[in-house]
């Protein structure tokens, strides 16, 4: 029984490392291609390499999050109930369009 588990992990770990390497290369390549397609023409910025593309991908992950922890109930990522959603909408209407009785009608959502 232990030998089977060892053999299974013996194959799973290299596959995981290979998948990580593919993700790094493909993710960096996609960012590099999009950057080199858009920014030199739009802003006159220089083109980047695949490793700089991966660096931008990692930087965006650090600054903005993503690629995980969605749907695990951490912080604001949890789903609102209909009552919470309506209270949120009412607070936004009050904040941006004044109190309910004022002359500005609430926006249609």
| pLDDT tens-place string over residues 39-94 | 999 999 999 999 999 999 889 888 988 655 555 555 554 688 899 989 999 998 88
Through-space distance between the first and last CA atoms of the chain, rounded to whole angstroms? 59
Q: What is the model's pLDDT at position 77?
A: 45
Mean pLDDT of 13-27: 91
Per domain, the residue ranges of the chain are: 1-65
Residue 32 has pLDDT above 90, yes or no: yes
107 φ/ψ angles, rounded to the nearest 5 degrees: -70, 150
Mean pLDDT of 24-36: 93
């Amino acid at each position: 029984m232990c030998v089977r588990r060892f053999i299974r992990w013996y194959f799973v770990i290299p596959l995981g490392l290979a998948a990580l390497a593919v993700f790094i290369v493909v993710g960096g390549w996609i960012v590099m291609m999009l950057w080199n397609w858009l920014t030199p023409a739009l802003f006159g910025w220089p083109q980047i390499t695949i490793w700089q593309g991966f660096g931008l991908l990692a930087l965006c992950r650090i600054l903005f999050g993503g690629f995980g922890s969605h749907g695990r109930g951490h912080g604001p990522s949890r789903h609102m109930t209909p009552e919470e959603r309506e209270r949120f909408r009412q607070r936004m209407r009050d904040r941006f369009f004044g109190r309910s009785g004022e002359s500005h009608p609430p926006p249609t959502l």
